[in-house]
Structure 1
Amino acid sequence: MDRAVATDTALPVLPELAAALSTAADRAAEPPGGGIRLRTAAAGYWHRRGLRTSPAHVAAAPGPRLLLLALISATGGDVLMPRPAADWYAAQARLLRRPVYGVPAQAESGGAPDPVALQETLARTRAEGGDPRLLVLSVADEATGTVPPPDILYEVCEVAAGAGVLVVSDESYRDTGHDPHGTLPVSPAEILHGQAVALAGLGACLLPPAWPAAIARFPAGPDGTELHRSTVAILDAVGARLPPPVAAAAELALTEPPAVTARRAAASRLHAELASAAVRVLTGAGAVCRPPRTGACVYADFDEMRARLADHGVVDSVELETWLAGRLGRGCVLGGHRFGDPLHALRVRFALGPLAGASAGERGVALAAPDPLALPQVTRAVSAFGGVIAELTGGTR
């Protein structure tokens, strides 16, 4: 499936961000890595999360993919990542023809590799002549909607530090937690002060996804300074500069004014309700779901119903995605093979956005509703979703 034609499930654009974008039409071009105003706003964003940051240690680019591409290019060597993981991680390494090693995550959560498996993979890779230098992980997993426990992150960072591997921490979804009173994610940049880069795609919860912008925080010290310089040079070489209007909107969003924080909190509440409804449908039909705690997706495993799915000609995740997408819509579901899981595993990721409404207007109504699951549009969407899952698994409605 071509993700470029995926269903649009974005929330309505905040008027304050739209105004910042439109009034910056004549703004001067941004320098490579972002201008001082943008980098200062990004430094403030991380400072509020307990990471003291100088604007000189920040780089910005038009989207997290380009930032990760530049980081991988600047670091060199092979790339490690958890399995499953966001599909765009491996894509950047493969563009650079870098070997990619997927390390299994623990069963209860994604985002970070199992520490023991990571140590074994590092030892095996180097024994076979590999050169692993960079580990990409996430403190709030885009692929599964789960959050790795702090103790796992500490162990992973300890293994990476001992092996001399740079950690790139994707923190795009760190502020999308479903429980407003839950434990805050721990950043590897707090653990590995000189050996971790924090990366955040702003389209996750600060800007509309169609306005590509991302920021990266580099460690202080000579190594971090050199990595920052090399990364910005690569961004410059490929012309990866933020469009000035998007930079203006990003500057505003990164200061986190009340309108932006209120929207982020409302979106998290909505996605928590939708996730609960989707999990009830899926587990009621016999699927196993990693408990979603962040973001706007649910990751489900249908392996226990393999025989029932085979009746539909579904025996791997490609066929499972195709079958479900034909009924739910393209872009509403993606097979686990896209995130590094084995092809034979019957795993898929469901997007929650379609359950909120078919248009930005409907999704805006759901966003403001005190009980979104009681809205007719949401009730219909959840019922239709349940009907498709029942058809797939041979259940009843």
Structure 2
Amino acid sequence: MNRFYFILLLSVITTAASASIKKELQQVKTSLKTGKELDKAERIMNDVLAKPDNRKDVKTWLLLFDVIKKKYEQGNERLYLQQTADTVTMYNLTKKMCLTLESIDSVERVNANGNENKIKYRKKHAEELFTYKPNLFFGGTYFMSKKMYDKAFEFFSLYIDCAQTPIFTGYNILNTDPQLPRAAFYSVYCGYKLRKPELALRYLPLAEKDKERHEYLLQYLADVYLLQNDLERYMAVLKQGFQDYPTQTYFYTHLIEYYSKDNNWTSANSYVDQALAAMPEHLWLRVAKSTILLNLGQYDACIALCDSIIAKNKEVPEVYLNAGLAYFNRAVEQEKTARTSRDLKKKVAASYRSALPYMEQYRRLAPKDESRWLLPLYNIYLNLNMGKEFEEMDRLMKATK
């Protein structure tokens, strides 16, 4: 095929393609006039704009926007007439309109080549986008209420990002929109629920401006940092939360549990004392304190605290265990030197005897927790020569093995 015929064929193909596109665009315009087959019209426009050359044409983008807007208006009309309208579809159409208006402005900026005077539609579209923008926020809260956290994040993200787009030049939205920090806080929450730290932390500086929800923000951040295994930030957030909200359960429980698991009983004791200063009669804190005293080897203080808790709350298993173990541990420590002193042997027996009612009561309250009462009772019955009871523990020990 010579060059002339090749050029002629290419020209025919190009003309045919152009005619096909014109025909499709005419179908779209007809749909706009009649208000029918708008879904098909939107698909046509998306196919047209899928071609790189067409994406540079502002008029093509404008036609797509008109189609989406028409669908949105029809949905709004159905809502107004109290007819069936899909809420999800309405919010998705809002999102599409906002993205399309931003795309139009972006294409205009490129085509203007730095000449702001050539950007024809910005003012009009900024005003239009400003009216749709609140629905991005409400769409985010809607999807969040449905536990569709990925969709919710998309809406909050678009709501925040569009505040900084060139189309809103001169609006100063970042400093005038009171909903932005709230949207950022919700974005943290969605990222936290999705277990995606990169999403949770994307708008953190803005989320920190939502002072009304700062307490919850710190809780979500702590979990996010723990998910990242960033213990330094995790502990820093817990300490900040405890300092700002000393009576908030999340912070003091996580601090005390962290130091307890690390066997850093001195630090755990410090935080439980600070929390107790604000809530001296708090049951969980008092029980936690008894556990810490036990592990610090302060047996007299542990027993006294357990007895004071039992006097008011007789059905708390943990305090019976702690008091019983305090007596039991003391007996074990005394037993190490009891071989050389008859008096010490009496003290050992007395300690085991004192531990007995606490451990038996713990067993009654927590019968399935064999791992905590079986061995102590085995040794108590053995040392107190309680044959029948010892034999039962011995059978249980063998069954456990």
Which protein is richer in helix relative to its size? 2
Task: Mark yes or no: TM-score above 0.5.
Answer: no
- The one of the two structures with greater contact order (alpha-carbon pairs below 8 A, sep at least 6) is 1
Task: Kindly name which structure, 1 or 2, has the bigger radius of gyration based on alpha carbons.
Answer: 2
Which protein is richer in strand relative to its size? 1
TM-score (norm 1): 0.19
